[in-house]
Structure formats: C-alpha cells, structure tokens
A and B are shown apart, each in its own frame.
Chain A
Amino acid sequence: MSEKDAPLLELRGVSKFFGSVIALQDVSMFVRAGEVTCLLGDNGAGKSTLIKTLAGVHLPSEGIYLYEGEEVLFQSPREALDRGIATVYQDLAMIPLMSIWRNFFLGSEPTKNLGPIRMYDQAYAKRTTREEMAKMGIDIRDPDQPVGTLSGGERQSVAIARAVFFGAKVLILDEPTAALGVKQAGVVLRYITAARDRGIGVIFITHNPHHAYPVGDHFVILRRGQVMGDYSKDEVSRDELVQMMAGGADLEALEHELSSR
C-alpha cells in the first residue's frame, strides 16, 4: 500500500473497549484522497463503533488516528468536522418539515447586510443549493419543497452534497444504501463516485458487497471487531467479496445443511 500518495486518513492498531466489552481490536484501515474505501461487515461486526471513532464521537482506547499525516485526538464530532471529516449518518440529521435549502445551510447560513441588519441571504442559499445538487448530478425540482417530501435516496444525496459543499475532505457514509430500493441505491452510489471524482476520500460503510464492489477502490472486511482483510479491487472479485462477507465456510455449511434436509 506504499504506492501512489499517502493516506489522507488512517487508523493504526485501533482498539475500543467499553468496560469488559471489546468492540474493536487492533483495527487498521486508511483512505486516500480521491478513493473510496469500503468498510464491509455484518451486524455486530463493530461498524458503528468504528464510524463513531472516525467521526470523533469516541476516542480510541488504543492505537493511533492519523489525519493528513499527523496524529489527532478528536474530542467532539464538531472538531472532526472543522478539520474536514464529515459523517453522514443513516438517520441523516435532516429536518423533514424544513425546505431543502434551509436544511442545506442549517448551521452555516450565508448572510447579507440590509443596512445595519444582517439577513439570511435566501436567494444565494436557494441558488447554491440547486447548483451544488446539480454538480452532484441531481436536479432538484424546487428548493422550497420540504425535505420530508424527498425519497430516501434524494435525502442521502442532499446530505452528501451538503458535506461536500462545506469542504469535506473525508466523507464517512454510514450505510447510505441500506434502506433503499435498487434504483435509489444506484442514485446514491453515483453521488459517491461524484464525490470521489472531486478528490474527496470516501469511507463507505455497508453490509452489501453488491453495492460496495462497483464503487470501491479497496475493501476492508470487519468481523467481530477485527479486520479480516484489506483488499484492493484487483486482488478480489465480487464473488470472493460476497463469500468473505458471509463468512465463506459458514455459508457452505449452511448450504450443506439446507440441502441435506
């Protein structure tokens, strides 16, 4: 993994303990700028803990968190965000009754001055929301419509476009395709590649190898809190990935068990 440029974000031997529970053990992974690292794991593999550690919610119990070549200790998600590590959670942090443009700029509203009064620059907000969404390849119908009227995939896209616009260098996506239909998932995968093409390092967390394989540059398999393997795309085929995800031996055993009935 020493070829090309250095990783933008890297974990080295990170463990996370909650009392006697070992949630993560000796996890190492990295993402480079303009690449997609897929983090694959079944339920209970430690994905959530890993995301929260990356996002700055948890501090690692052991190991090193490197960002832009230096060791970091994020005390809060805000700190990570300020450095350009944006996390888009499954439950999205979007406000359904608010319009798309108000959601897009919530917390970082553009202002303009009307005499001594500072106003929300709504024309700029609406125009920019539309433009940024267009850059990600989505054409929003009406920036005034409430986010609650959007489909799941569209909401994910707004969240991703927002993170990209506000200068994310690393984008952590927590199961963005999990609750989506085939077509909608395709839409989101497209934005992932769009973000990658803009030079962002994407960490794509999923349990679905079929979603991971088309967009990933390399694949980290997480099982029971440990990394079972880290493969670049040319080292592994889609079928091998599916095998590894399900735990190949387990799957064969299950097949055997079912067919013998």
Chain B
Amino acid sequence: MTTEVEAATTQPGATAADERVRAQSWYDRLLSRPEIGALIALIVVWLGFAIVAADNNFISMATTAAILNRSAPLIILSVAVALLMIAGEFDLSIGSLVGFIGMAVMLMVTSSAQGGWALPLLPALLITLVLALGVGWFNGTLVLRTKLPSFIITLGSLFIFRGLAIAIPRTRTGRSQLGGFDRTPGYDIIDAILGQKINIFGAAFDIAIVWALGITLLAMFVLRRTVVGSWIFGVGGDANAARNVGVPVNRLKTVLFMTTALAAFLVAVIQIVQFDGADSLRGRLQEFNAIIAAVVGGTLLTGGYGSVVGAALGALIFAMVQQGIIITGVDGDWFQVFVGAILVLAVIFNNALRQRALKR
C-alpha cells in the first residue's frame, strides 16, 4: 500500500522544516485571530469620529475618559457573556439582574421608615451576591435539566427579574428609584473600591475601568491558557463530543451561568455607587448590548469560537459610538441605527475572516 504518508515521511528534511508549512506572513496570522475584526472596526470608528468631530474635541483626555467610563460596565458584562457564548449558551437575564440586584442592595440598606430592611452594608452585599449566584445557578440548572434553549429560559428570567425590580420596591416603598446610598455606613470603603474617580491630566477616569481591564485579562488567561478554557471551546463546539471524552459539561455550563450573574452583580454594585442609588430600569437592554459586543468581537452565535478581548473591544466600540454621537451633536435617536449597522457589518466581516482562517 503506497500512501501519501509514506511519500511525505521519506522526503528529506520533513521534520526539520516541513515543506508543506508555508511561512505565514504576519498579517495572515493576525487575520486568523477572532478579535481582529473588532480591532479594525475600533480603529475605523475612532478615525471616523476623529475626523467628523475634530472641532468638538473628540481627541482629548476628557472624551477618552468619557468613552472608557461608559464602556467599563459593558466590558465586564460582555466578557462574561462571551465566555458563556463560546460555551454555546445565552444569558438574556443579566440586564434585568443588574436592575434587580441594585434594587435589592438599596432596599436592604434603606431605613425601615422608608420601607427598607435597614441592614448593614456588608451583609446586604453578601446576601445579594449569594442571590445573584443563585439566579445564575438556577438559570443554568433549568437549561440543562429541561434541555430547552437557554435563549428561551433566560428570556423568561429577563422578564421575571425586571418585573421583580419594579414590583418589589414599588410595593414596599412606593418608588422605582432609591437614592441616598452615600449615607450608608461603610460607603467610603465601597466607593474607594468600585466608585472612585482617578484624575489623570485633568480628566476623571472611573476605577471601574481597572476592574474591566483586570477581568478581561483574567478571562483571557482562563480561556487561552487553562484547561477550563479548552473545555469552554470544546463544549461550545460539540457538547456531546466533549462529554464523551470526559469534560464535565453540565458543571462547566452552570459555572459559566453563575459567572454572568456574578458580572451582573458587580456592575449593579458599581452603578449604585456611581449613581448613588438604584433604579428599577437600570441595566435595561444591557443583555443585548453585551451579546452585540461579543459578536462584534468575533464570538460565534453558535458557540465554539470567540475571544474575550474581542468582546471587550466590541463594548469599547459601543461606548465610543454612543459618546461620539453625543459630542458630535447628532440627535441621539440615530445611535441605534449606527449600532445596528456596525453589528451587521462586523458579523459579515468576522464571518469572512473565519472562513479564511479555516481554509488557510
């Protein structure tokens, strides 16, 4: 039996420098990375605004700080969502969860005269943390037990928790906004950790940016350098195949649902510190914005492929467009048109890049 292998192995120098491996040019290697589309889009959007909004001080520390501040919460959510999406599942409940958890924290620390529970800050945060992780666990367990699409299950959670975020405070306090978080004992510590602003060249940068950066780097490390990261890709690529080789598919997916809920918790607390209180409608549409950021960043809707760095870049594009439109003075109503167009263009572009990567 003469085969190609025999031919290949007997060729001289086959192991030293394999003649079948083309030396790939640096741009070929670069173009086969999932986040490259988002990086190019980011540069294009930035250049676009730099030209169009040059007179409005787009290139300035103040605008840069505004963009980064705006992007930080969405980056935190998008990174967690990207991990879950690469593993092949959706979580549409996180936006509502941001509103719900914010409200829960505020209700707990508000005085009983105003309809709250008058708990100290630390227990309030611990209880809501457990609550958030419980929601994530419940979402995951329900998806895995019923084998229904997570899109449907978490769509239900989206409505349930938004409804609770409105109904509970209204019943107890008659309001859908609760303020005065800065009067809570222990506020200074939580403000220093999650809410403070850092002045650099006269512009105020939120410390949340540091959290967003740290979380992105951590998620990147987990995804690319650890065993769990390999499992995430495997589970999203083919859950059955992964299960057959011994990957704990259900445990992994449950943990990832808890991770998105944890991200929602962190964003909820950051925002009650930043806005000095909770609002029943806070976090609205963030579940979709996070998915958009992930997809713009090269994550495949069907799972098995993607990048957390891409998701963070996607969130940054999102914030840049938002901020750019504000400072350009274009009517804010046009924002959604831009976002929709960028989403479709990015997906088409990412798709073309992935085909290219598979053919190389």
Q: A and B bound?
A: yes
- Give chain A's interface residues, CB within 8 Å of chain B: 77-78, 81, 92-98, 102, 105-109, 111, 117-120, 122, 134, 137-139, 141-142, 145-146, 148-149, 183, 186-187, 189-190, 214
Among candidates B4, B5, B240, B247, residue contacting A106 with C-beta atoms closer than 8 Å: B247
Q: How far is the CA of A144 from the CA of B247 in the complex (A)?
A: 21
**A98 adjacent to B225 (CB under 8 Å):** no
Q: Shortest CB–CB separation between residue A115 and chain B, in angstroms?
A: 13
Among candidates A95, A145, A183, residue contacting B242 with C-beta atoms closer than 8 Å: A95
Collect the chain A residues with CB atoms within 8 Å of residue B18's CB: 139, 141-142
Most buried by A among B8, B225, B242, B245: B245
- Give chain B's interface residues, CB within 8 Å of chain A: 1-6, 8-9, 14-15, 18, 20-21, 225-227, 229-231, 233-234, 237-238, 240-242, 244-247, 300, 304-305, 357-360
**A95 adjacent to B238 (CB under 8 Å):** yes
Q: Shortest CB–CB separation between residue A143 and chain B, in angstroms?
A: 11
Given contacts A95-B241, A105-B230, contact A149 B9 (CB under 8 A): no
Among candidates A81, A93, A102, A139, residue contacting B15 with C-beta atoms closer than 8 Å: A139
Among candidates A106, A118, A142, residue contacting B245 with C-beta atoms closer than 8 Å: A106
Among candidates B1, B3, B227, B360, residue contacting A109 with C-beta atoms closer than 8 Å: B227
**A97 adjacent to B20 (CB under 8 Å):** no
**A95 adjacent to B226 (CB under 8 Å):** no
**B226 adjacent to A119 (CB under 8 Å):** yes
Q: How far is the CA of A139 from the CA of B6 in the complex (A)?
A: 10
Q: How far is the CA of A119 from the CA of B323 in the complex (A)?
A: 39
- Can you name the residue of chain B whose Cβ is closest to the Cβ of A105? B230
Collect the chain B residues with CB atoms within 8 Å of residue A111's CB: 227
- Can you name the residue of chain B whose Cβ is closest to the Cβ of A119? B225
Q: Shortest CB–CB separation between residue A146 and chain B, in angstroms?
A: 6
Q: How far is the CA of A138 from the CA of B4 in the complex (A)?
A: 9
Collect the chain A residues with CB atoms within 8 Å of residue B1's CB: 186, 189-190, 214
Collect the chain B residues with CB atoms within 8 Å of residue A134's CB: 15
Collect the chain B residues with CB atoms within 8 Å of residue A186's CB: 1-3
Given contacts A137-B9, A145-B360, A187-B4, contact A106 B15 (CB under 8 A): no
**A78 adjacent to B241 (CB under 8 Å):** no
Q: Shortest CB–CB separation between residue B190 and chain A, in angstroms?
A: 28
**A120 adjacent to B227 (CB under 8 Å):** yes
Ordered nearest first, which 9 A-B pairs have the shortest CB separation? A107-B245, A95-B237, A93-B241, A107-B246, A109-B227, A186-B3, A106-B234, A97-B305, A141-B20
**A107 adjacent to B233 (CB under 8 Å):** no
- Can you name the residue of chain A whose Cβ is closest to the Cβ of B8? A139
- Can you name the residue of chain B whose Cβ is closest to the Cβ of A101? B230
**A149 adjacent to B358 (CB under 8 Å):** yes
Collect the chain A residues with CB atoms within 8 Å of residue B2's CB: 186
Among candidates A109, A137, A146, residue contacting B358 with C-beta atoms closer than 8 Å: A146
Collect the chain B residues with CB atoms within 8 Å of residue A105's CB: 230
Most buried by A among B18, B225, B227: B227
Q: Shortest CB–CB separation between residue A211 and chain B, in angstroms?
A: 11
Q: Shortest CB–CB separation between residue A67 and chain B, in angstroms?
A: 20
Q: How far is the CA of A180 from the CA of B87 in the complex (A)?
A: 31
Collect the chain B residues with CB atoms within 8 Å of residue A214's CB: 1
Q: How far is the CA of A137 from the CA of B95 in the complex (A)?
A: 53
Among candidates A81, A94, A96, A106, residue contacting B230 with C-beta atoms closer than 8 Å: A106
Q: How far is the CA of A168 from the CA of B238 in the complex (A)?
A: 23
**A98 adjacent to B237 (CB under 8 Å):** yes
Q: Shortest CB–CB separation between residue A52 and chain B, in angstroms?
A: 13
Q: How far is the CA of A214 from the CA of B1 in the complex (A)?
A: 9
Given contacts A139-B14, A139-B18, A190-B3, contact A94 B360 (CB under 8 A): no
Among candidates B4, B225, B244, residue contacting A120 with C-beta atoms closer than 8 Å: B225
Collect the chain B residues with CB atoms within 8 Å of residue A187's CB: 3-5
Collect the chain A residues with CB atoms within 8 Å of residue B234's CB: 95, 98, 102, 106-107
Given A95-B242, A183-B3, 18 more A-B residue pairs with CB atoms under 8 Å apart are A93-B245, A95-B233, A95-B237, A95-B241, A95-B304, A96-B237, A96-B358, A97-B237, A106-B231, A107-B247, A108-B245, A109-B230, A120-B227, A137-B5, A139-B9, A145-B360, A149-B360, A189-B1
Given contacts A107-B246, A186-B1, contact A118 B359 (CB under 8 A): no
Q: How far is the CA of A94 from the CA of B300 in the complex (A)?
A: 18
Most buried by B among A93, A107, A142, A149: A107
Collect the chain A residues with CB atoms within 8 Å of residue B300's CB: 97
Collect the chain A residues with CB atoms within 8 Å of residue B8's CB: 139
Q: Shortest CB–CB separation between residue A166 and chain B, in angstroms?
A: 9
Q: Shortest CB–CB separation between residue B318 and chain A, in angstroms?
A: 26
Q: Shortest CB–CB separation between residue B222 and chain A, in angstroms?
A: 10
Q: How far is the CA of A134 from the CA of B9 in the complex (A)?
A: 9
Q: Shortest CB–CB separation between residue B180 and chain A, in angstroms?
A: 42
- Can you name the residue of chain B whose Cβ is closest to the Cβ of A96? B237
**A122 adjacent to B245 (CB under 8 Å):** no
**A142 adjacent to B247 (CB under 8 Å):** no
Among candidates B4, B227, B233, B242, residue contacting A118 with C-beta atoms closer than 8 Å: B227
Collect the chain A residues with CB atoms within 8 Å of residue B230's CB: 102, 105-106, 109, 120
Q: Shortest CB–CB separation between residue B22 and chain A, in angstroms?
A: 9
Q: Shortest CB–CB separation between residue B294 and chain A, in angstroms?
A: 16
Q: Shortest CB–CB separation between residue B29 and chain A, in angstroms?
A: 10
Collect the chain B residues with CB atoms within 8 Å of residue A117's CB: 226
- Can you name the residue of chain A whose Cβ is closest to the Cβ of B20? A141
Q: Shortest CB–CB separation between residue A172 and chain B, in angstroms?
A: 13
- Can you name the residue of chain B whose Cβ is closest to the Cβ of A95? B237
Q: How far is the CA of A141 from the CA of B22 in the complex (A)?
A: 10
Q: Shortest CB–CB separation between residue A154 and chain B, in angstroms?
A: 10
Q: Shortest CB–CB separation between residue A9 and chain B, in angstroms?
A: 20
